[in-house]
Each structure stands twice: as structure tokens, then as C-alpha cells.
Chains A and B, each alone.
Chain A
């Protein structure tokens, strides 16, 4: 079965510093991997995805993520954090062997401190 883990409930980082939000996954086949962000009282917004090809994926708002097959990870990164990046971040995976189920991680709350 497919699963997603986000080992940190909360990540705190100072404005201007690099940030990393971790994600690991477990699937049977080749995964489709996604990152979404949720601001307070809002729906989820798409940030980026990995389907195939280059392991480094660039997305919205300066975020990027690196697919690492050997470590089954897909960590979200940004070189310089902004206070406005403070939000709840979700990693999600789709396994082509398991149909339409789109499995989300539990979320990581990012706080960027001024």
C-alpha cells in the first residue's frame, strides 16, 4: 500500500534562511509526487510535482523539491524563506498501481520568524 510520512509536525526558520520540509513515501511502483500548501481557512494550493525526468523540480513561489529514489524522499526546499511562506504544507503521492487514491501526508506547519 502507498503511504506518505512527514516526520516533522512543525518547522521553524528565520526569515532569509533556507528552509526544508521533509517528506518520505512508500509505493509499489514509480510514484507521482506532489507538494501542496494550505493557508489559514483556505483550500490547498498546488506548489509542484514530480512525474518523471529531472529529479530537481521547481515550482511556485521559489520552492523546489528533489526526488531521491534510493531514499524514497521528496523534500521541499527554498533558498530564502519569507514570513509569507508560513503555512501548512502537505506532501502527497499517487501510485499508478493503486488507481485514483491520492494519499496525503499529515502536514507540516512552517513558521517563518521575522
Chain B
């Protein structure tokens, strides 16, 4: 049972380049989330999804887009990367809503030069 996996683990981009981060979960969870982690700021929610085909904005959505075409996958896209998007990105999933535990992936370290 792999849980939550993220691809890639590391990536270096130049300003203006685009990329997609892939999150996959094999726990049949309805809810999926994308966070970014910056030093001294904890985790901040970028976008989330409450089910296949749905997405919603979190606390810091600007510069990112997401898609949830399949229940097990949640993609995070950067259309035109900026140095301010240098961060560690975590994906998480949960069975359903508010009181549920979130299960996190190992993270993707992204550097934008």
C-alpha cells in the first residue's frame, strides 16, 4: 500500500518555465489537497478537491492551477514559474471532510531560478 506518492521529488526550473506536479493516492480518498511549505510559515493550502472533477481555491492559489480528472490523481500546474514559487510542495488526501486525518506525500522540492 503506497499511500500518497508525489512525482517528481526534486525539480529546478528557470523563471517562466512551466511544469506539472503529480500526486497519486491509492486509498480511495475523496478529498485531496496541495500545500506549499516555506520556512517559518508552516503549510499553506494552495488548492483542494472534494471529489473527482472538482477543484477549489485555498489560501494561496495565485500562479497555480489544478485538475482532478481521476479520483486517485491530483495535478498541480505552474504555467509560468516565478522565484517566489520556490518551495516544498506537499500533497495530502483524506477520506472526507473536516474531522478527518490528512495523509501526506513525501513532498517535491522545487527551485525556480
A contact set with B: CB distance below 8 Å: 4, 9, 32, 34, 36, 41-46, 49, 51, 90, 92, 94, 96, 100-102, 104-107
Mostly, the A contact residues are: strand
A51 to B56: give the CA distance in the assembly, Å: 24
Q: A43-B4, A44-B90 are in contact. Are A106 and B107 (CB under 8 A)?
A: no
Closest chain A residue to B44 by CB distance? Answer: A104
Query: A77 to chain B: closest CB distance in Å?
Result: 20
CB distance from B53 to the nearest CB of A (A): 16
**Size bracket of the B interface:** 20 to 34
Q: Interface of B with A (CB < 8 Å)?
A: 4, 31, 33, 35, 40-45, 48, 50, 56, 58-59, 90, 92, 97-99, 101-107
Name 19 interchain pairs, CB-CB below 8 A, sorted by A.
Answer: A32-B98, A32-B99, A42-B107, A43-B104, A44-B92, A44-B102, A45-B104, A92-B43, A94-B98, A94-B99, A100-B58, A102-B33, A102-B45, A104-B35, A104-B43, A105-B42, A106-B40, A106-B41, A107-B40
